[in-house]
Amino acid sequence: MNKWMVVINPWAGSGLGKTDWPAIKNILLQKGFDIKAVFTEHQYHAIDIVKNAVAEGFRNFIAVGGDGTLHEVINGAMFQNEVPAGELTIGCIPVGSGNDWIKMYGIPHDYEGAIDVIAAGNVGRQDLAKVTTSSATASPRYMINIGGALFDGNTIVEFARLKLKYPEWSGKSKYILGLLKTFIKSKCRHVDITVNGQPYYSGKILSVAFGIGQYSGGGLIQTPGATPDDGLLDMTVYTGANKPRALISMWRLLNGSIYKYRRIRHCQLSTVTITGKHPINVEVDGEKVGTTPLSIEMVPAAINVLVPASK
């Protein structure tokens, strides 16, 4: 079956998923795509849509939305039991507020450009990370881009609250406000981190980020050394408890020089566990997925994604 299942998040990009779908559909049809389109109706719905579509015979998928929509489509591909996930191919048309995954591949933000990438058919085999938390409803989850714990996790929780409170605001505005409010309220926590089965760090942290990709939060570069196909996860640990110094160094997240901040520890790994006395929030691909204890295991070359040929 050479038909495409298109999974649309109507709430992505403050409602652009719904309002812009007719234009996106028109471009897809003009370029010869044979499609079946389904709108998501609630969180995690895209996972079930993909699982059911694979059972129907679909092998090609397009996520229309932001990083969260792509995350759910990927998880549907990994959770289905019909065929190996490596037999499925996934493309993305960015409609969300962050769209960080497409940045590492240079996928265009405009709809026609993104569809041209899908139509070209250049397949990249990408790693995923299997993330297990204390949550009974969202664990394990497969990460395609970047995640984090403590400050990152708290920011996503605040962002979700602001989305409900100020639905008319842009996603960027809500994220920035959530970032500032979280920074003011955040407290450092003591954690124990084990990397590849060996003790790595024990002490207070402000946050920790772990990435297959480099970008999060609409363009912040927390894991500048990450690549999506080396079989390794890049981890950045913000150690210590000095928030003013951390704030002064935030500009390094804009140009990829965060490793030069002296309170940063970073490494590449295959497995990591994070534990502590106090549970801390964990986010993956911009979605809260539970709290610590946290464990991550790399799944190399797990999924096929459609990317520009130069990547």
Alpha-carbon dihedral angle through residues 164, 205, 258, 253, given to the nearest 10 degrees = 10
Backbone angles phi, psi at 307, to 5 degrees: -140, 165
Task: Assess contact for 64 and 6: CB atoms under 8 A.
Answer: yes
Residue 159 lies in a domain: yes
pLDDT score for 118: 98
- Do 65 and 139 have their domain in common? no
Residue 126 lies in a domain: no
Residue 263 lies in a domain: yes
- Do 202 and 237 have their domain in common? yes
Residue 214 belongs to domain with CATH number? 2.60.200.40
User: How many domains is the chain partitioned into structurally?
Assistant: 2
Helix residue spans in the chain (DSSP H):
12-19, 21-30, 45-56, 67-79, 101-105, 111-120, 151-165, 171-185, 243-248, 252-255
pLDDT score for 138: 63
Q: How far apart are the first and last CA of the chain?
A: 27
Q: Provide mean pLDDT across the span 252-273.
A: 90
* Domain stop point among 91, 121, 151: 121
Q: Is the pLDDT of residue 256 over 80?
A: yes
- Do 101 and 183 have their domain in common? no
This model's pTM is above 0.95: no
DSSP classification of residue 258: G
- Do 152 and 272 have their domain in common? yes
* Domain stop point among 67, 95, 121: 121
Read off the pLDDT of residues 265-308 as tens digits, 9 standing for 90 and up. Answer: 999 999 999 999 999 999 999 888 999 999 999 999 999 999 99
- Do 169 and 265 have their domain in common? yes
- Do 172 and 280 have their domain in common? yes
Range of the domain at 237: 131-300
Residue 73 lies in a domain: yes
Residue 309 lies in a domain: no
Read off the pLDDT of residues 123-171 as tens digits, 9 standing for 90 and up. Answer: 999 999 999 998 756 669 999 999 999 988 888 887 777 666 666 565 6
- Do 110 and 209 have their domain in common? no
User: What type of residue is 11?
Assistant: W
- Do 111 and 161 have their domain in common? no
Name every residue whose Cβ is closer than 8 Å to that of residue 236 and which is 6 or more positions away in sequence: 208, 209, 210, 211, 222, 223, 258, 259, 264, 265, 266
Residue 221 lies in a domain: yes
Residue 307 lies in a domain: no
- Do 136 and 198 have their domain in common? yes
Residue 59 belongs to domain with CATH number? 3.40.50.10330
Distance, CA of 72 to CA of 61 (rounded, Å): 12
Task: Assess contact for 185 and 272: CB atoms under 8 A.
Answer: no
- Do 145 and 96 have their domain in common? no
Angle CA 253–259–146, to nearest 5: 60
* Domain stop point among 121, 152, 181: 121
- Do 151 and 237 have their domain in common? yes
Q: Is the pLDDT of residue 91 over 90?
A: yes
Q: Provide mean pLDDT across the span 45-71.
A: 97
- Do 42 and 144 have their domain in common? no
pLDDT score for 89: 98
pLDDT score for 162: 67
Residue 228 lies in a domain: yes
Q: Is the pLDDT of residue 246 over 80?
A: no
Q: Extract the tokens encoding 294.
A: 């946290």
Backbone angles phi, psi at 29, to 5 degrees: -70, -40
Q: Is the pLDDT of residue 79 over 60?
A: yes
